[in-house]
Structure 1
Amino acid sequence: MNLDWTEEQAELHERLRILGATELGHDLEERDRSQRLQEGDWKRCADAGVLALPLPEAYGGAGRDPLTCAIAMEGLGHGCPDNGLLISLGAHLWAVALPVMVFGTDEQKRRYLTGLGDGSLIGAHAITEAGSGSDAMALAMTATRDGDRYVLNGGKRFVTNAPIADVFVVHATLDPELGFTGVTAFIVERNQPGVSVETRFEKSGLRTAPWGELTLENVSVPVSRRLGAEKQGSRILATTMAWERALLLAPLLGTMRRQIDECVEYAHSRKQFGQPIGRFQSVSNRIVDMWVRLEQARLLTYRAGWDLAKAGPSVYSEAAQMQVSEAAVATFQDAMQIFGALGYTKERDAERNLRDALGTRISSGTTDIQRLVMAERLGVTGGARRPATGAGGRAVVHSR
């Protein structure tokens, strides 16, 4: 894996960093209080090509490879202080546009991909239910075949973007007795009869990424809006999760870098006992640890992106999600310690960053689930060792 950015990647990173720093998140404090996404910022990102990064050029996309997407989103995170916006963009990209791009029919791609890429459509991924979280395939939402249509009934919760979404990728089961083998994916439009969305949870962090509950009551979905084949839902979800776990938190790499830069500056300017606090090892060592964590998280993210492009999904997707989220929590805790009492106030963004980072440890599966998945694929938890290790030690996920 070549760690040197190409000139094109460097330019894209810098362009999105400037976009984030100059045009996004100006009213963040008020929107964090009111739990509101800035729709103008969403449009600015769409106009800058963020939502089209991985999409095929035939549908208005940029056709960027996963590693380039990671580098681009890192740049956006470095500039943009609104972590909730970044999570909403990622949920739209990696859990809605990506599965339509990979598994959609030509008709579905024509109907949805262009709008998802230019921002005229907002997507949401509906998988979690009251009785299924980490056990994502134990679904109660049903899809009953009725001629050339399916009738969907059930509810989803904690759906990122649900309050503002136009299109949902929804997973339902043809028969609960079939377990994960009966799960099938569908594209559901917001304006269909029987579709309702309710917002009732107040989140601790990522408050500008709107959450909602989706209820489908006798929602009729034509076969033409089934995503993939019947009973292919587990494969679609596995592919979606591989991309989302690899790339959803790439913006946090930039956020951590910005926070470290602010800590270095503060360590120079803040004086105690007659000298800058950066001269005290308790401060300087903490900043070094922050930097090392960032570099570890960046390397795993880049490796996950590299594998997605070169060899398909790999165990590095789970490793990246786990490392980035845990590194972010530790880094923002350290930042609060360095800033002292000031870091516990809204004068600095460390407290909001910490609240936001805590939420990323449960996004796309908790970090405990990531460890369980990795242990299984490394052959630790029993059974045959799942990864196929080839040249360079690449661990490739085998389809279930």
Structure 2
Amino acid sequence: MDFALSNEQRKRTDDLGTAIRDRLGAARPSTPDAHFTRERWRIAAELGLTGLCLPTEHGGQGLGALDTALCLEVFGRACPDTGLVFGVAAHLLACAVAVRDFAAPDTAARLLPGLANGELIAANAITEDDAGSDTGALDMKAAADPAGYRLTGEKSFSSNAPLADVFVTYAVTDPTAGFFGTTGFVVDRDLPGVEVSAPMAKAGLHGCPAGRLTLTDTPVPHAAVLGEVGQGSTIFQHSMGWERACLFAIYLGVMDAQLRQCVRHARKRRQFGHRIGEFQAVAHPIADMRQRLDAARLLLYRACWRMDQGHNDVTEISMAKIAVSEAVVANSLTAVQLFGGKGYLVETGVEAQLRDALPSRIFSGTNEIHRTLVARGMGL
């Protein structure tokens, strides 16, 4: 067992962290409608963040799961706009990975360079009002016609959608086939019948806009099909494996920066003639923050390492997702309490850390779903 990063990994992450702080280190969005701009997206792309695990022949860096996670952890630590970080990670892992691994060669050649260099923004569109992790309950339909398919239906929550150029979406091609009745598609925004709502008002992750996607008899060619017809559920689970393992590394970065902020505050702030860090009521919760962060990091690194070894272990990925998401919520609650009144003010950024942490227990499958997956992995 070797827990040390290689010299190459250390140099890559150190250089990336410096570049992110220099170019994307501005303050986080202060209002719910302060979404990321194309300019900030372009900067993230210039730093290689939109193409971390995409093929080098299409402009990506060709990194594996662990190295992708290490870079996303740095992104989460160095950039205070967690919404932008989340948007880039969702674009890469939920969308570009599906195109990389399942798109027809001509479609991959058309889309991957733009996805890697930031010219294209992708949005994953699967969630509906009555379907999320249950891909067998989707209502969007794909009717075959001589030129391909016509898609009709509505997706209720799609991150990046208001600014997206291409959507990775899933629709029912055979209502009688159950798990094998869903098919994945890539849908260009400029196709007829594509309608995207205005950005939704959200509690957190303000930098990443989310919206509804409505398709009305939208024509897509055969080349837009991902993989084989009926393979949609499998493709979705594949891309979710990458997202659940790698995306949550952004919250490791958030927790790392947050912990350093809390330690600085506890060493500087004085009450009753002492630094507050000298009081066990303050020091012990900070020690718990460190323990949760390190435990979650080890689980996530192990899940990513196993993916790189060819073991797409659902149980280990789910355990990592649960650990990271619950750690970041718990640590953020502690941080707000530690900062007291200032923790409730926008100026410290601590309250925003909590708001950005809360959805981590919901997206990429709720933690309840992941506990079910862990139980199934044990034969229950």
TM over 0.5: yes
3-state SS of paired residue (1:290):
helix
Q: How many residues align?
A: 379
Indicate yes or no: 2:144 matched with 1:145. Answer: yes
Q: How large is the Cα RMSD of the aligned pairs?
A: 1.3
2:135/2:182 contact within 8 Å kept:
no
Query: How does 1:123-142 map onto structure 2 within 5 Å?
Result: 123-142=122-141
1:335-374 to structure 2, matched below 5 A, reads 335-374=335-374
For 1:82 and 1:88, how far apart are their aligned partners in 2? 10
Q: Distance in 2 between matches of 1:263 and 1:223?
A: 54
SS in 1 for 2:343: helix
CA distance in 2, matches of 1:162, 1:338: 36
Distance 2:6 2:43 in 1: 25
Give the drift of 1:133: 1.9
Is 1:242 aligned to 2:241, yes or no?
yes
**Structure 1, unaligned runs of 5 or more:** 381-400
The reply to whether residue 321 of structure 1 matches residue 329 of structure 2 is: no
Residues 29 and 81, structure 2, Cα contact 8 Å, conserved in 1: no
TM-superposed deviation, 1:224: 1.1
Output the amino acid matched with 1:335.
A
Paired letter, 2:361: R
3-state SS of paired residue (1:231): coil
- Give 1:200 deviation, angstroms: 5.5
Contact 1:13–1:76 (CA<8 Å) still a contact in 2? no
Give 2:161's aligned residue: 162
Matched, 1:172 2:205: no
1:322 to partner: Cα distance = 1.2
The equivalent residue for 1:7 is: 7
Cα distance in 1 for residues equivalent to 2:29 and 2:167? 29
1:97 aligns with 2:96: yes
Displacement of 1:28:
2.5
Confirm or deny: 8 A CA contact 2:29 2:206 kept in the other structure. no
Aligned to 1:271: 270
Distance (Å, rounded) in 2 between the aligned partners of 1:350 and 1:370 = 28
Displacement over 4 Å in runs of 4+: none
User: 2:204 and 2:105 mapped to 1: Cα distance?
Assistant: 38
Do 2:32 and 2:203's aligned partners in 1 also have CA atoms closer than 8 Å?
no
Equivalent runs, 1:1-400 vs 2, <5 Å? 2-30=2-30, 32-199=31-198, 201-314=200-313, 315-380=315-380
State the distance in 2 between where 1:336 and 1:49 align: 33
Quick one: structure 1 residues 35 and 375, their matched pair in 2 at CA, closer, same or farther if it must change by over 3 Å? farther
Alignment-derived partner of residue 393 in structure 1: none
2:106 is paired with a residue whose SS is helix
Q: Distance in 2 between matches of 1:132 and 1:21?
A: 39
Deviations 1:255-274 (A, max 9, x none): 11111111111111111111
1:323-367 per-residue CA deviation (whole Å, 9 max, x = no partner) reads 111100001111111111111111211100000100111110111
Could you say what secondary structure the match of 2:179 adopts?
helix
Return the alpha-carbon distance in structure 2 between the equivalents of residues 2 and 347 of structure 1: 41
* Contact map agreement 1:17 1:77 (CA 8 A) in 2: no
- Distance (whole Å) between structure 1 residues aligned to residue 200 and residue 66 of structure 2: 34
How far 1:25 sits from its partner (Å)?
4.9
The alpha-carbon deviation at position 172 of structure 1 amounts to 0.3
1:37 Cα deviation after fit: 1.6
**What runs of 5+ residues in structure 2 fail to find an aligned partner?**
none
String of CA shifts for 1:27-72, please: whole Å, max 9, x gaps. 5243x33241232221111001111111111111111111111111
C-alpha contact (below 8 Å) 2:266/2:282 kept by paired residues: yes
- Indicate the percent of aligned positions where both proteins have the same amino acid: 42
- 2:26 is aligned with what amino acid? H
Q: Secondary structure at the match of 1:207?
A: coil
Q: Taking structure 1 as reference, are residues 35 and 180 closer, same or farther at Cα in structure 2, changes over 3 Å only?
A: farther
**For the residues of structure 2 that align with 1:197 and 1:29, how far apart are their CA atoms?**
23
Checking the alignment, whether the CA contact within 8 Å between 1:140 and 1:176 is kept in structure 2 is no
**TM-score (ref. length: structure 2):** 0.97
Q: Over residues 260-290 of structure 1, what are the superposed CA-to-partner deviations in whole Å (9 max), with x where a residue is unaligned?
A: 1111111111111111011101111111100
Rounded Cα–Cα distance in structure 1 between residues aligned with 2:344 and 2:4: 37
